[in-house]
Structure 1
Amino acid sequence: MGWKQLGSMGVNGIATGSGLSRTDWVKSLLRMAVLAAPILLVACSGKEDLDELALNDTPPEVLFNEGLALRAQGKLRDSTEKFEEIDKLYPYSEYSKKSLVNLAFLNYSRGKYPETVTAARRFVTLYPGDEDSAYMLYLAGQSYFRQMPDITRDQAVTRRAAGAFTELIQRFPESEYTPDAEEKLRIVEDQLAGKEMQVGRYYLKRRNYVAAINRFRAVVVEFQTTRHVEEALFRLTEAYYALGVVNESQTAAAVLGHNYPDTQWYKDAYSLLNKGGYQPSEDSGSWISRAFRSI
C-alpha cells in the first residue's frame, strides 16, 4: 500500500484525503501528537490534584495517630514524614503543634541535629509560653552540644549551645530539664574559655600583648567560674608587665593570690613581679578588681 493510499484511510480513524504526500502525512501526524500532549498532561495533573485533595481530607487526628503508631513500631523515618505531613496540611492547628514536638524528638533521635533545631525553634517562636517550650529549648541546646567541635576550630556552634541552655535556664528555672542544662552550660563555657586562652597564648608568644590581653580579659569577665580563670590572671600579669603597665600587672597578681593563693599560677606571678622589684598590689579602680567584685 503506497503513502497516498494510506492517506485516504487516515490516521487514528481521521480522514485525510487521498492526495497527501509522504511529507504532508508526517507533518499531520506530528501536529496531532503536539495537540494530544497537553490533553495527557492535564489528565495527569488532574489525577495528582485529586490525590492531593483526597490526602487533604484525611482528618489530622488520624494522621497523628498513624505517626504515633509508626514511632512505637520503631519506624522513625516514616513517623517523621507523617508528622511533617500534618504540619504541612494543618499548620497552626493543635495537631501541628503536637507534631512539631514529635518532629524535634524524632530528628534528635535520628541524629539529624539541624532539623531538630529547626523544629524546636519554630515551636518556641509560635508557642513561647507553652510548657513544652522548655523541652524544645533543651533539645535545641543538646543538638548544638552534640555538634561542638574540638577547641582548635571555630566555636560558633558552641556559642549557640550556650545561648539555648541559657535561655532555658532563665525562662524556665523550675523545669525538669534545667539542672542538666546548667551542667551542660558549665561544660560549654569551659570550652569557650579554653578557646579564648588558646588564641590569647598565640598572641602572647608573638608579643602582640594588646590582642592577648583582650582574650584573657574575656575569660576573666565572661567565664570567671571556669577552670581557665587562674591561668588568665597569670597571663594578664605577664602581658601587662611586658607592656610596662605595672599597676595592672600587680593587680592581676594580687587578685590571683587572693582567690587562688595555693596555685602554681600565683607562685609564678609573684616570682615574675619580684624579679623586677615589685609585689602584688590591688588597684581597686582596675577593671580586674571590679570584675571580681561584681561576682
Structure 2
Amino acid sequence: MQKKLSVVAATVVLLGLSGCGLFSEKADETKGWSATKLYSEASEELDGQHYERAIQLFEKLESSYPFGTYAQQAQMNIAYAYYKSQDQAQALAAVERFIKLHPNHANVDYMYYLRGLINFNDQVSFLNFVYEQDATERDPKATREAYAAFKELVTKFPNSKYTPDSLDRMRYLINAMASYEIHVARYYYRRGAYLAAANRAMGIMSDFRDSPSIEEALFIMIRSYDKLGMTELRNDTERVFRLNYPNSKFLDEGKKAERHWWKFWSSNASM
C-alpha cells in the first residue's frame, strides 16, 4: 500500500512540474501577433536571407489569417523563399498551388515567371557539367520545363514586365537544347551510328531553326550521309550547307575536313 502511494505521489509531482513548463514545448512567440506584425517579421527574415524562418512565419500568417490582405502575398513569398533556399520541389509546389488557387490574381504573371526561374536555375546546373558527362546519360528535362514555363508566361501575359526577360531566357534555352542535341548527334556519329546521327541532326533543323547549332547539324548530316553511301542526300545537304554557310569552319574538303572536324570536336566538345 505504501509503495502504491509513493508511485501516485511521484506522478503528481511530475504532473506539477509539467504544468510549470519543465516538460512543455517552447511557447509560440508569435501567439497573439497581428497579421501586420507577422508579415513585417517574416519580410525582415526574408530580406535577411533567413529563408527557413521566413517560411515559418509566412505559413503562420497564412494559417492564422487565411482571408486577410496579407495571405496571398504570404503564399507568393513562401514560393520565393523556397526558390532562394534552392528547394526546387517545394518552390514549384508553392508556385503551382498559388496559380491554382488564384489564377486571376493581379500578380499571377510573376508566379509563372518564378516557375520558369526555378527550372532555369536547375538547367544551368545541368549545363555546368555538359562537357563532363556522356550526352546520352543526361536528360534536359529542366531545360524543356523552363522553356515551357517562360513560353506560357509570354503567351498569357504578353505585356507583363517579366516578358522581355523571359524572351531572352527562351532564346538561351533554345540554344541550350540545340547544343544538347548536337552532343547526342556527335555521340552517335563517333560510334558509327550514322543514321541515328543524321536523324538527330535533322531534328535540330526542324525544332531549333534559329539556333547557331544549325551549322554543325548540317555538317553532321553531310558526313553521316557520306558514311551511309547516300550520295544524293549528301550532295543536296552540302548544297544547302554551302549556300547558308559559305565561310564555315567545316568547309575543308576530304581528309582535311575529317581531320579538322575531329580536331575541332576534341578540343571543344570532348565527351
User: What TM-score, normalized to structure 1?
Assistant: 0.66
Whole-angstrom CA distance in 2 between matches of 1:159 and 1:177: 19
Superimposed CA distance per residue, residues 137-175 of structure 1 (whole angstroms, 9 cap, x where no aligned partner): 222222322232132452222222222222222222211
2:189 alignment partner in structure 1: 204
State the aligned residue count: 240
**Aligned: 1:127 with 2:102:** yes
- Answering whether residue 190 of structure 2 is matched by residue 216 of structure 1, we say no
Q: Is residue 76 from structure 1 mapped to residue 76 from structure 2 by the alignment? A: no
CA distance in 2, matches of 1:117, 1:214: 34
Query: Which segment drifts farther, 196-205 or 248-257?
Result: 248-257
Cα drift, residue 247 of structure 1? 3.3
Partner of 2:218: 233
Larger-Rg structure: 1
Distance change (3 Å), C-alpha of 1:34 and 1:225: farther
* TM-score, scaled to structure 2: 0.71
User: Which of 153, 168, 185 is matched with 2:170 structurally?
Assistant: 185
Give the superposed CA RMSD. 3.6
2:264: which partner in 1? none
Offset at 1:245? 3.0
Deviations along 1:43-76, one digit per CA (max 9) or x if unpaired, are 79xx989x78x94x6543442233234445x263
- Once the two structures are superposed, what CA deviation does each residue of 1:190-228 show, in whole Å capped at 9, x if it has no partner? 122111111111111111123212321221121221111
Structure 1 unpaired stretches of 5+: 1-6, 11-24, 273-295
- Assess, with a 3 A threshold, how the Cα gap between structure 1 residues 66 and 207 changes in structure 2: closer, same or farther: same
Check if 1:249 corresponds to 2:224: no
Kindly provide the amino acid, as one letter, of the partner of residue 95 in structure 1.
Y
> What CA distance in whole angstroms lies between the structure 1 residues aligned with 2:231 and 2:196?
18
Structure 1 CA distance for aligned equivalents of residues 243 and 67 of structure 2: 57
CA distance in structure 2 between the aligned counterparts of 1:211 and 1:241, rounded to whole angstroms: 14
Post-superposition CA distance 1:224-243 (Å, at most 9, x none): 21111110011112212322
Check the 8 A contact 1:114/1:143 in 2, yes or no.
no
Pick from 235, 244, 261 the counterpart of residue 259 of structure 1.
Answer: 244
**Taking every aligned residue pair, what percent have the same amino acid on both sides?**
28
Distance in 1 between residues matched to 2:249 and 2:44, nearest whole Å: 60
* Partners of 1:253 and 1:198 in 2: CA distance: 21
Amino acid at match of 2:106: E
Structure 2 SS opposite 1:173: coil
